Amino acid sequence: MLKSVSQWLPLIGLAFFISSCAKVGPQIVEVRGNTMGTYYQVKYVLSAEQQGDSRLALKALQSDIDKRLELVNDQMSTYRPDSELSRFNRAEKSLEVSAATRQVIEASLTLFEQSNGAFDVTVGPLVNLWGFGPNKKANKVPSEELIAEKQKIVGSQYLSVNGKTISKAIPELYVDLSAIAKGYGVDVIADYLQEVGINNYLVDIGGELRLKGEKPQNTPWIVAIERPAEKQSVQRIINVGDNAIATSGNYRNYFESDDIHYSHSIDPRTGKPISHKLVSVTVINKSSMLADGLATAITVLGPESGLAFAKKYNLAVYLLVKEGDNISEYYTSEFIPFFIEEKK
């Protein structure tokens, strides 16, 4: 017996030596949580060297991510009464706010101008009027008089940024950044990951994504565009590269009255739900904030005007349009490089 054990000892030692010398490969770490009324998910790749860095461990990184997202909520949430945005909405004329809030509002004002008013962060009173606001009691068509009355207090032309202050020309103006703030939050987290040396990641807040680099074994991050249908299915598979991607869908949140379909997407220029057949918009951009806002703007503009808008500004945009019983796709030339394979 002793002879047998002594014969195995060199082999055990050799196995331990080989194991200890084996190269540790890159590892994917995943962090999940809740923010802005939805979920967030962050996947990032750590090299062998980074796996020994306590600052990049799951709990430490999640703590830093949560702090940054909490700050965005404290700045731009309409559900927090003490947020910067809530205090501005209660103010008569103006409020000094953070550089972050000013950045998002300035981007919103640019989109408002470029889209000829299709993207408007002051549309909240009309959204609430149609029953798609926080109470979500969408089942009644408001009168033309009520619509006209609400339109009097809607319009980003009444909103401005002056130095460190945001101002409104009418006291009733109400700003809601939900159509662009999630994208901004994605950018905040992506920029933070790069600051700490993580260059391969996927950041997802409620379906708004920003990606960079690759997964282990040089595998790209792959994104699926959903096909609007009762059952979930995939329309396209794309490789986004080092970019952000946002999709705005117009086929789930609606109500019907007298056999008329009323979408949750409100056109601030008419005060009414959009009535065209554009059901899904996907935008790829370096900035998640801009991709988020652009997807909403194009959804309101509709298939023809939206595609013309995308071509004017050289945007990578993909549209799905309901035509009879079929779903047709339209896209700009800038979107083509992201397709993994042509649709059969």
Q: List, for residues 90-137, the tens digit of each pLDDT value.
A: 999 999 999 999 999 999 999 999 999 999 999 989 888 877 765 566
Question: How far is it, in rounded angstroms, from Cα 61 to Cα 51?
Answer: 12
Question: How far is it, in rounded angstroms, from Cα 226 to Cα 223?
Answer: 10
Buried b (16+ CB within 10 A) or exposed e, 272-307: bbbebebbbbbbbbebbbbbbbbbbbbbbbbbebbb
Pairing type for strands 214-215 and 201-205 reads: unpaired
Beta bridge partners of 28: 45
Counting Cβ atoms within 10 Å, is residue 152 exposed (0-12), middle (13-18) or buried (19+)? exposed
Q: Which of 79-93, 226-240, 329-343 has the lowest mean pLDDT?
A: 226-240
Is 259 annotated in a binding site? The answer is no
Question: How far is it, in rounded angstroms, from Cα 46 to Cα 286?
Answer: 23
Is 179 annotated in a binding site? The answer is yes
Q: How much is the pLDDT for 5?
A: 42
Q: For each of the domains in the chain, give its residue range(s) and CATH number, in order of start.
A: 27-75+180-338 (3.10.520.10), 83-168 (1.10.3980.10)
**In degrees to the nearest 10, what's the CA dihedral of 250, 252, 256, 260?**
30
Cα separations in angstroms, 295 against 57, 114, 145, 231, 317:
34, 13, 30, 23, 8
Is 292 annotated in a binding site? The answer is yes
For 148, phi and psi rounded to 5 degrees? -65, -35
- What average pLDDT does the chain have? 88
- Read off the pLDDT of residues 149-168 as tens digits, 9 standing for 90 and up: 999 999 999 999 999 999 99
* Highest mean pLDDT out of 36-45, 130-139, 264-273: 36-45
Return the amino acid letter for 233: S
Question: Is the distance from CB of 264 to CB of 279 less than 8 angstroms?
Answer: no
Nearest to 281 by CA among 293, 269, 266: 293
Q: How much is the pLDDT for 177?
A: 95
Between the two ends of the chain, the Cα-to-Cα distance in Å is: 68
Buried b (16+ CB within 10 A) or exposed e, 225-240: bbbbeeeeeebbebeb
Return the amino acid letter for 159: L
SS3 136: coil
SS3 298: helix
Taking the model in full, what pTM does it have?
A: 0.88
CB count, 10 Å around CB of 131?
Answer: 17
